[in-house]
Amino acid sequence: MYAGHVGFGLGAYSFRKTLPLWLLLIAAQIPDWLDAGFCVADMDRGPFGIYTHGFIPIAAAAVLCAILAYALTRDVTGALIVALVVASHWGLDYFTGIKPTWPGGPIVGMNLYAHPVVDVVLESATIVAGWLLYRRTLPEPVRDHGWTYATLFSLCALQVLAGAAFALSIGGHAKC
């Protein structure tokens, strides 16, 4: 899941508008950013991304992001929401890919990446749902502004492009 995580972060914002939106969006994608960092640095990400997408690294990222959220806002509930957004990454990725659990544990997932149309539909639905929740937080005059809809369409277009790129990669088995 790529842009779908952004949709989830947008939706989470509607539950705690005192949180910085940028923090929720980073929290939603932090495992993928770590994965990209490992890839750019040409470092081993472990089998199936165990060092970035396993339960232990996602739990560690959730704790660190929650601490950052608390340091910024002094809001315990907000910090918990940020932690849940990070943790949601694994659950959302369960549908789209195959993901590690813990070292030596099973590799699980529905691998919808192997079915790009289904993946794009699922991720687009996640984007739309999150966007609709986020849209409710906007002032009335802004809700129907063209830029508000441009955000939705851009995220969905990004997801379609990501899905196409993944489908065209070597059977979905590109190095990064």
Per-residue pLDDT of the chain (176 residues; tens, 9 = 90+): 678 999 999 999 999 999 999 999 999 999 999 999 988 998 988 888 899 999 999 999 999 999 999 999 999 999 999 999 999 999 999 998 899 999 999 999 999 888 888 999 999 999 999 999 999 999 999 999 999 999 999 999 999 998 888 777 745 455 66
In contact, 118 and 112? CB cutoff 8 Å: yes
Note the pLDDT of residue 174: 56
**74 burial type by CB count under 10 A (0-12 exposed, 13-18 middle, 19+ buried):** exposed
Note the pLDDT of residue 164: 84
- Cα separation, 55 vs 135, whole angstroms: 31
Nearest to 78 by CA among 89, 67, 88: 67
The pTM score is 0.89
